[in-house]
Structure 1
Amino acid sequence: MKLKYSIFALIALNASLLADEVVTLEQMSVTATKIEKATKEISESIAVVDEKTIEDKNILNIQDALQNIPGVIAESSSNSPSPRLIIRGAGLKARFGVREIMVMKDGVPMTDPDSFTRFDFIDMQDVSSIEVQKGPGSINAVNSTGGVIQLITKSVFDEDKNSIKVGAGNDNQRNVNLKLRGAIDENDFASFTLSSRKINNSWRDNNEFDTTQVTLKYGHIFDDEATIENELSYTESNLNLPASMTKNEFEEFKKSGKQHDTSNQWQHSARDSKIISLNSKYEKEVGDITYKPRFYFNSWEHFHPVTGLINDADDNKVFGTDLEFNLAHKLFSKDAMLVGGLTLKMDKTNDAKKYQYRDIQTQTVTSGWPPSSVTQIVKTLSNEKGALSSTEDSQTLLYGAYLMESFKVTDKLGFDISTRVDKLKFDIDGNEITKYDYASKSYKAGIGEYAIDSSFTLLSGKLGSTYAITDNTNIYASIAGANQAPTTSELGENEDLKKSQSINYEVGLKTRTDKYSSDLALFQNFVDDEIIQIKDANGNSIYDNAGKTDKKGLEYNIAYDLTSSIQVGGAYAYSDFKFDTFNEQVRGSLVSRDGNYLPYIPKNQYSLFAAYNLANGFKTRVTTRTYGSYYMDNANTQKYEGYDLITDFMIGYEKNNHNIQLNINNLFDKYYASEASKDVFGVESYKAATPRMTMLTYTYKF
């Protein structure tokens, strides 16, 4: 009933604001359909974070850009580019990193073939805008049912001033960014970007972070107006990952804002990475056809101590291509566009190793009858490598094809019809010498040599339609579906996992005028065989197919120019996500969770903002967000209260080539959890959100 009233209220609000419609000032999407198109004309929910918002909020981490988009959950428990990212419930299963969501940069996939994404090697200070597509069915989304996040960087062909930016803040925050761009001659262009960041996060143990990123871009315009743009980048990132807290430790954190000397076993988690990335984009028009082939390659290594074991992989290669074409033609006597292409991506890892922790504090525990003793790990003392635990070689291959037809039947009625099919193959060989056993809290003999050879056929598609109610308002409807395959690590835990099937039904309303912009979306998403993380009888994290889930939701966002200097707005999301059928293993028995809510997803989220920009250069912005209560476990036995009105503030002055601004995140220094969970044994775990962070930044353009 509340949902119905909310819908009527939002539609009424749209109607009242549309009474004085004027000329449209439309945002454009350059990626949702692989062709430039007004967001109002796209038959799905899409959000755009523009360059001014990125600059005003001094966005250095991806979560800071996305956390106010309705239907998107973006939280970091490490105050670094290592967020937990969820779109409409997809991504919830990830133990670390980002799953079920396709992340792209300038059309190049950042997501591995098995749907894992790292944000270490994305320099947010080179990003000019971000587009977020929600739900399954996009032709951009390969093995991803949650949606697509597209990062658009500053093209070497775009005229722009050189700049240097320096910033400093509390907890020894430091940031330096240098951008140089110029024309070599009338056909050749080059740019150079250097970013260096660090932060101590001294309010808690083991959470230092630093990164250095260098990017070179070169572009050439041929005599026939074809273009090629190449990018070479290098990243070195060092991140210590803090431990989670018990309930009592979290209560202490809420009083003091400090997190020291926790009882967590794994005190020395980290992820240190070195990444070299290369991509090349070519574009050429031949009659009505535009060819857009892309080629990319990256080589990465990381040292990644996690729960129980230390991962050390220094020979990882990813390469791929996207051979895209656009065909402009006529259909129903109207301009139409056919987009198609072939894709291939391979992720190859040689001799990846896992080690036991060398330096540990232990205790001997005797139990059972007849009595037996086991040496338990109480706490790590360093992240130095001990005995070799396992080795593994893996190759993941993903290849496919896609087609989309975008056309209009009349001046007001348009359609998008798309489909893609992909083949995903896993080839994994390894030798597990020892493993960490959660039940005994000790290392035990592994399974020895193993091999996994699995493949999945992944289908996705969408039928969408838009209709122009007025010159400024479109209504849309769509049905879309996609498959989600298990990841490499999930198959290692359970080879019998099946791919999931997501079907999304959606209707929405989009309005654009020169003063007012709003988006309203209502959706229902059915997922069969959703892959869920659970605990087995011994406390080990395993994965299983959940049966069926039903996700119903409403999303709304609005921005309104009160005057030429003042803009206000906000966003709201209502999420009613439940298990239809799901049996969870609890101490060796299956327990029904049918009808329970998915954990971690609040029913209500909202955010508000106000921005003030004067012609003399003075500017300020206030943003606040609220995250409602949510269940901490699949059993729905306990709720975390969420958080209210976490406020970010900016004040600055921009004149000619100079810009100085002060950004304060979590202005009122609230102490809360970015994530709260409870396992099947009743053990609660809390990850602290970041207290107040302040940074003063100066930028000079030349």
Structure 2
Amino acid sequence: MNKTLTFLFFFLSYMLNAQFNISGSIIDHTSLTPLENVTILDIETGSKVVSDSYGSFKITCSGTLQISFTGYVTKKIRVTKDRNITISLIPEINELQEVFINSQSIPVLEKYATDAVTILNTTEINRGNTIELHPVLNKVPGVFMQNGTLNTNRITIRGIGARNLFGTANIRTYFGDIPLTDGNGESSIEDLELASLSGIEIHKGPSSSSYGVGLGGTILLKPEFVSRPITEASFSSVLGSYGLSRNLGKIMLGGKKSSLNIVYSNNHSEGYRDNNTYNRNTITATSSIKIGEKDNISMIASYIDLKAGIPSSLDQEDFENNPQQAAFTWGRSQAFEDVDYGILGVTWKHDYNPNFSQHTSLFTSFRNNYEPRPFNILKEKSNTIGIRSRIIGNSSIFQKKWNWTVGGELFFDFYNSRTFENLYEDFPIGTGSVLGNQLSHLDEKRNYYNLFAESNLKANDRLQFNFGLHLNQTFFTIEDAFLIDGEDSSGKFNYDPILSPKVGVNYVLNTSFVLFGNIAHGFSTPTTSETLLPDGEFNPDLRPEIGWNYEIGTRYTLLQNRLYGSLSVYSLRVRDLLVARRTEEDNFFAVNAGKTIHNGIEASINYNLFKTKHGQLNFFINTTVNDYKFDDFVNLETDYSGNDLTGVPSYILNTGIDWITQKGIYGNINFQSVSKIPANDLNTVFSDHYELLHAKTGYKNRLGEHIFLDLFLGANNILDTKYASQLQVNARGFGNNAPRYFYPGLPFNMYGGINIKYRL
């Protein structure tokens, strides 16, 4: 008995006084990337260390380690021997973390913003099949992205851009500091590779003075730069329904003073409909070089090679009974677009001192498109070049903290457009489009300048003000190189300078609620197709759309950060509304014909159902409720005043759950409900209300010291809902044919894939 007690005494004394040498690395459980400056604490002795830039650490431990890092669930580990371990921390799903917005302009914490802004990180971007952008954006209150096909999309923010006939307009978009919005006022951000992004920042309404003041708002795509020492290669492959395939390779090289990130992808789909094949190759590279202590050079380059069929929209009968077919003439002519698109930008950052810096970017891009349509064949080329420069300062005024920026952007766009007869009807079925005689030839030079100033003034610990001023002027030079019957569309034109002010306020009510509000002016210039009359002449009487946005809102966090979200109420009033008139099949021109009022409420609620060391489950609900009306709209003696705005649902609801576990299992379920949408200005035709259910689950783990594995499986439209995924607004029928309003959405479809990452 005495021997037993003696043994227990010495054993307990050893366990109480034993020390173990523990080494290893700390990684993000979701992205598997190393985490720097993580605190590793020995609870028994109080000694602690922090992880280095590789996520590595070493510590002598007496029994229990506590690992903690801001924005992650704290973790405790019991150790009983010398070990080399990898510890993964689970991110807290909380949008009110210390996240900065306007990182390229005046960095400010999101909770102190004076406008409605949403940040999407890589986890949210990768919730779906990583090819399509619309499931990502459609979770954001106030944003609605319609997608007829992978290459036919339209993004609207607060109803702005909904009546644009083809593509996205009236919204400013940037890739880093490179404008993606062309001189035509249109953007094609869906062609970029999502895997090359570190995040997306969306400002709703004309509130971003430093990035242009498009009526709808601004979308900032943040390119991914390597910001730590690392050598990593990864490969991802996805297969799905309707011939979907995606193969992606990525290399990341990071050193102390330089870095390189290269992403290549091939995305292919046979398509749900006839004449619906899609093939896109994309290569994107980012690089940065630190020169001394004060200078940094960064580069962004991307090249896209896209060829995709165009099935076009369907009439009601075909949409209901045979949605897989292409529109007859578009299928017969085998219409398609063949696009080469490249962008390049170089940014120089110089820090004069800790409170004063300069950022200057030079950028260029090109876009070549060959597009046979039933009514003609379009050949177009565009080249842009520009410079964007700003100075950012931190100072004080009347002993109050004052951050400011002033700068300018100069943009030149050279556009060449030629159309030719399409002789497909003169050849046997199956021949497709055949190039005929030339019909038109226009050379257009469009350039603009933006001058801007913006500042944040901190009146006290609770109250902050934001002031912005933006000046724009746009110029045209059009040369008609193909005169018909003596008609000449050549000439020089320009819009009057437009001055857009903004004032915003942010007030910290208490630890749970932050209030904000703003009044902002914005505008959108007409696109090239809108500026041309039916005979091809430029319409000098066409004016930009002008609007004022009035908004108040709150961001909140309750129940010890388990419940958080935001609420915005706004009224956007637009005059000189651009209205499309159709003259013949698929030909349009625009007139200024009215005013609209965009009143709406946007809300988001997030709730951590539970959060433990084993994982967490998060519930979310985002909703948009609006009342968008034509205030004063008379067109060709028809009065549309009081009707609902065309192409916009009156409400959108997104709700779902996200889960992540310590054992590597993750996933999400998303339910979306969209109201009926008016398809014409008369409000006599609507798309039906629809509901969609999507889900994805996966498993992540580490295999050995260098290899990381991610397996996933997903399904879209699980309810197999028949719905219109995009509308061709104000369509008209010709030759006794019914109007073609509807693009059919995909029925139930699945995808699955694997991602393998190797890190030295």
TM-score over 0.5 (shorter chain):
yes
- Structure 1 equivalent of residue 400 of structure 2: 334
- Structure 1 equivalent of residue 490 of structure 2: 451
The answer on whether the counterparts of 2:530 and 2:588 sit within 8 Å (CA) in structure 1 is: no
Q: Does 1:652 align with 2:702?
A: no
In structure 2, distance between residues paired with 1:75 and 1:88: 14
- Structure 2 equivalent of residue 369 of structure 1: none
- Structure 1 equivalent of residue 102 of structure 2: 31
In structure 2, distance between residues paired with 1:528 and 1:205: 40
In structure 2, distance between residues paired with 1:409 and 1:385: 66
TM-score (norm 2): 0.80
What SS does the corresponding residue of 1:595 show, helix, strand or coil?
A: coil
- Structure 2 equivalent of residue 491 of structure 1: 531
Question: Unaligned stretches of 5+ in structure 1?
Answer: 1-22, 363-377, 434-444
In structure 1, distance between residues paired with 2:179 and 2:585: 37
What SS does the corresponding residue of 1:489 show, helix, strand or coil?
A: helix
- The structure-2 alpha-carbon separation of the partners of 1:471 and 1:231, relative to structure 1 and needing over 3 Å to count, comes to same
What SS does the corresponding residue of 1:83 show, helix, strand or coil?
A: strand
In structure 2, distance between residues paired with 1:419 and 1:199: 45
In structure 2, distance between residues paired with 1:260 and 1:312: 23
- Structure 1 equivalent of residue 172 of structure 2: 102
In structure 2, distance between residues paired with 1:481 and 1:26: 30
Q: Does 1:353 align with 2:353?
A: no
TM-score (norm 1): 0.87
Higher mean C-alpha deviation, range 299-308 or range 85-94: 299-308
How far 1:684 moved relative to its partner?
Answer: 4.9
- The structure-2 alpha-carbon separation of the partners of 1:298 and 1:540, relative to structure 1 and needing over 3 Å to count, comes to closer
- Structure 1 equivalent of residue 451 of structure 2: 401
What SS does the corresponding residue of 1:504 show, helix, strand or coil?
A: strand
Look up the equivalent residue of 2:543 and give its one-letter code: K
What SS does the corresponding residue of 2:125 show, helix, strand or coil?
A: helix
The answer on whether the counterparts of 1:28 and 1:36 sit within 8 Å (CA) in structure 2 is: no
- The structure-2 alpha-carbon separation of the partners of 1:112 and 1:538, relative to structure 1 and needing over 3 Å to count, comes to closer
- Structure 1 equivalent of residue 670 of structure 2: 623
Picking from 215, 221, 227, the partner of 2:296 is 227
CA offsets 1:331-387 (integer angstroms, 9 cap, x no match): 34232201111111111124x31111121269xxxxxxxxxxxxxxx9996233221
The answer on whether the counterparts of 2:345 and 2:363 sit within 8 Å (CA) in structure 1 is: yes
Look up the equivalent residue of 1:451 and give its one-letter code: S
Look up the equivalent residue of 1:634 and give its one-letter code: D
In structure 1, distance between residues paired with 2:579 and 2:130: 32
How far 1:601 moved relative to its partner?
Answer: 1.3
Picking from 292, 308, 332, the partner of 2:375 is 308
Look up the equivalent residue of 2:239 and give its one-letter code: A
- Structure 1 equivalent of residue 596 of structure 2: 549
What SS does the corresponding residue of 1:582 show, helix, strand or coil?
A: strand
Question: Unaligned stretches of 5+ in structure 2?
Answer: 1-93, 534-538, 703-707
In structure 2, distance between residues paired with 1:404 and 1:583: 38
In structure 2, distance between residues paired with 1:654 and 1:423: 51
Q: Who wins on radius of gyration, i.e. which is larger? A: 2
The answer on whether the counterparts of 1:342 and 1:400 sit within 8 Å (CA) in structure 2 is: yes
CA offsets 1:209-264 (integer angstroms, 9 cap, x no match): 011111233311111242111123221111111121111111104xxx63367466
The answer on whether the counterparts of 1:432 and 1:447 sit within 8 Å (CA) in structure 2 is: no
Picking from 661, 667, 686, the partner of 2:742 is 686
Higher mean C-alpha deviation, range 226-235 or range 531-540: 531-540
Look up the equivalent residue of 1:401 and give its one-letter code: L
How far 1:141 moved relative to its partner?
Answer: 4.0
The answer on whether the counterparts of 2:501 and 2:520 sit within 8 Å (CA) in structure 1 is: yes
Picking from 383, 386, 402, the partner of 2:436 is 386
- Structure 1 equivalent of residue 620 of structure 2: 569
- Structure 2 equivalent of residue 581 of structure 1: 632
The answer on whether the counterparts of 1:649 and 1:663 sit within 8 Å (CA) in structure 2 is: yes
Q: Does 1:128 align with 2:198?
A: yes
- 1:58-77 correspondence to structure 2 within 5 Å: 58-77=129-148
CA offsets 1:84-104 (integer angstroms, 9 cap, x no match): 111111112322121000111
Picking from 232, 254, 279, the partner of 1:210 is 279
- The structure-2 alpha-carbon separation of the partners of 1:91 and 1:678, relative to structure 1 and needing over 3 Å to count, comes to closer
- The structure-2 alpha-carbon separation of the partners of 1:501 and 1:390, relative to structure 1 and needing over 3 Å to count, comes to same
- Structure 1 equivalent of residue 49 of structure 2: none
In structure 1, distance between residues paired with 2:591 and 2:103: 32
The answer on whether the counterparts of 1:432 and 1:448 sit within 8 Å (CA) in structure 2 is: no
- Structure 2 equivalent of residue 10 of structure 1: none
Q: Does 1:411 align with 2:411?
A: no
- The aligned length equals 642
- Structure 2 equivalent of residue 5 of structure 1: none
Higher mean C-alpha deviation, range 515-524 or range 263-272: 263-272
CA offsets 1:130-184 (integer angstroms, 9 cap, x no match): 111111132244362110011112113355643211111122211111111113x
What SS does the corresponding residue of 1:162 show, helix, strand or coil?
A: strand
What SS does the corresponding residue of 2:135 show, helix, strand or coil?
A: helix
- Structure 2 equivalent of residue 114 of structure 1: 184
Look up the equivalent residue of 1:150 and give its one-letter code: L
In structure 1, distance between residues paired with 2:717 and 2:229: 35
What SS does the corresponding residue of 2:418 show, helix, strand or coil?
A: strand
Picking from 450, 463, 481, the partner of 2:503 is 463
In structure 2, distance between residues paired with 1:412 and 1:266: 64
- 1:244-323 correspondence to structure 2 within 5 Å: 244-253=313-322, 258-259=324-325, 262=328, 267-287=333-353, 288-306=355-373, 308-314=375-381, 316-323=382-389
Q: Does 1:237 align with 2:288?
A: no
CA offsets 1:255-303 (integer angstroms, 9 cap, x no match): xx63367466875332211123211112121122111111111122111
- Structure 2 equivalent of residue 51 of structure 1: 122
In structure 2, distance between residues paired with 1:248 and 1:61: 28
Look up the equivalent residue of 1:312 and give its one-letter code: K
